[in-house]
Amino acid sequence: MGLFSLVTGIKGRSGYGSATTAEEVTQGIDAGGITAIVTGGASGIGEEVVRVLALRGAHIIVAARNMEAAEISKQTILESNPAAKLTTMKIDLSSLKSIRDFADNFTATNLPLNLLINNAGIMFCPYKLSEDGIEMQFATNHIGHFLLTNLLLEKMKMTAKETGTQGRIVNLSSVMHRYPYIGGVKFKTINEKSKYIDMLAYGQSKLANILHANELSRILQEEGTNITVNSVHPGVIMTKLMRYSSCLIKITHFFSFPLWKNVPQGAATTCYVALHPKVHGITGKYFCDCNETKASKLARNGGLAHKLWEFSEKMVRYK
């Protein structure tokens, strides 16, 4: 979808566009019987995704770092939808131990898993290493979701096989995937402070989200597994994700307000790819404004995707 479509809200081939809301793209869809995990589901786009999926009947596990915020969000949703099936569980995507603990705790529930939405993230933060010694944006936005997805994959495969319902994995990326470091991912200096530029580090992590989705999609297709994997750009939305660059963002917002979405619009593409029948069987694609869109050349580089996969496996294996 181009700039004209974004500003005007004109609808694309899917029948939806930049002005469409999450409720509109899921209208009439029955998600009863579906169990979903949404990371970062206690605020912003994630919270709206949780609210709308629950409205359609899905059982949502709200995976959040701040459990107090998660419980407040849960109660708010229950006030408007008393039938909502919501479970809160703690996870810190920057901590490999926390991710492994979450996966163990979820497995212990014996719940099925049809849908995984890798939504949580941080943006433009100052240089910092995670507790595992990984640059924080790369750790939280990519490595954390890479490990989480791998740990939950067998449960998703089992659920898809036993129910006959296609599983779906959705990675939240960003248009900023087009603006990473030169070459896309600086494998040799990923954690070096002297090489760190916050915006390029964010672009790198968002590129990694697409490469991860594409490589996993390829692997699952080769296996003949009934699970699709896609990535989405939700749009530019003013949320807590912007907290590290609030002054710059507010100035930019003032001069470019027609390009920005509200949260219900920002959650639409995620909900469309997660639930809509039109996306059944579609995998390894990138969506924007609820329509399939071409990602950057780097994001479509299969060799880079494979290299990132092997690099990520080593990072999580030895930590």
**By CB neighbour count within 10 A (0-12 exposed, 13-18 middle, 19+ buried), where does 162 fall?**
exposed
List, for residues 139-170, the tens digit of each pLDDT value: 999 999 999 999 999 999 999 999 999 999 99
Domain range 3-317, its CATH number among 3.30.1180.20, 3.40.50.720, 3.20.20.10, 3.40.640.10: 3.40.50.720
For 4, other C-beta atoms within 10 Å of its C-beta total 8
For 26-55, the pLDDT digits (tens) are: 999 999 999 999 999 999 999 999 999 999
Task: Please compute the mean of the pLDDT values over residues 231-235 and round it to a whole number.
Answer: 96
End-to-end CA distance of the chain: 40
Helices vs strands, H then E, count in the chain: 12, 8
Asked if pLDDT for residue 295 goes beyond 90, the answer is yes
Confidence class of residue 318 from pLDDT cuts 50, 70 and 90?
low
Q: Mark out the alpha helices in 164-295 (DSSP H runs).
A: 198-223, 246-256, 263-266, 268-275
Residue 118's φ and ψ, nearest 5 degrees, are -85, 85
Q: With H, G, I as helix, E, B as strand and everything else as coil, classify residue 33.
A: coil
The average pLDDT across 287-307 equals: 98
Average pLDDT estimate for 273-293: 98
- Name the amino acid, one letter, at 265: Q
Q: Which of 16, 179, 181, 196 is catalytic?
A: 196
* Position 6 pLDDT exceeds 50: no
Q: Tell me which of 16 and 257 has the higher pLDDT.
A: 16
What is the pLDDT averaged over residues 7-22?
84
Q: Is the confidence at residue 94, as pLDDT, over 70? A: yes
Q: Is the pLDDT of residue 8 over 50?
A: no
Q: How confident is the model at residue 11, as a pLDDT? A: 86
Element at 152 (helix H, strand E):
helix 144-163
Residue 241 has pLDDT above 70, yes or no: no
Give 248 or 133, the one with higher predicted confidence. 133
Domain boundary assignment for the chain: 3-317
What is the predicted pLDDT for the residue at 107?
A: 97
Q: Spell out where 20-149 has E strands.
A: 35-39, 59-64, 85-90, 115-118
Give catalytic status of residue 196 as yes or no: yes
Rounded to the nearest integer, the mean pLDDT of the chain is 92
pLDDT band of residue 260 (cuts 50, 70, 90) is: low
pTM more than 0.85: yes
